Amino acid sequence: MKSKFRSVILYVGIAVFAVGLLLTFIFSDASGTMSSVAAVLCGIGAGWIGAGVAFMIRGRRLKDDPERAKRLEIEEKDERNIHIREKAGYIMWFISLIMIAALMLTFRILDDMLPFWLCMGVFWIHIICYFVLISVYKKKI
């Protein structure tokens, strides 16, 4: 992974966490949507900071061990590994679709209509994105 990308993950994480923290102080007395948003932003930010730091530590370690870095680069660019990742991703698309459909069904049974319609939206976006990407790659390849 490029060092620039590693830094971007860390900086975006810090920014998201800071916004979340700021919102927590601003809406400290509120117990509604905004405080939930603040908590979610803090969580996402903390996650990204963790990932960014982990990538940076890994990058520094690999700098001191060029042989291992070369081996990892080969593993990453290895065509069989790429093929495996693509195949796993393709199967995961179907699994995600089934999971979203199951969630939709659950919310419908519970008669919880807002999450039901949200899931319905995600379900169709998921399918539309698939066909848009197929059309993009048909032109590219």
Partner 1 sequence: MRNRLEELRKQRNITQEELAVALEVSRQTVGSLENGRYNPSITLAIKIARYFDIAVEEMFIYEEEK
Distances from the Cα of 140 to the Cαs of 79, 86, 100, 127, in angstroms? 20, 17, 30, 20
Q: How far is the CB of 81 from partner 1 (least distance, A)?
A: 7
Nearer to partner 1, 60 or 71 (CB): 71
How many binding residues for partner 1 (CB under 8 A)?
A: 8
Here's the x/- map for partner 1, 91-120, by CB under 8 A: it reads as: ------------------------------
Q: How far is the CB of 137 from partner 1 (least distance, A)?
A: 17
Site for partner 1 in 68-87 (CB under 8 A): 74-75, 77-81, 83
Q: How far is the CB of 92 from partner 1 (least distance, A)?
A: 20
Binding site for partner 1 (CB under 8 A): 74-75, 77-81, 83
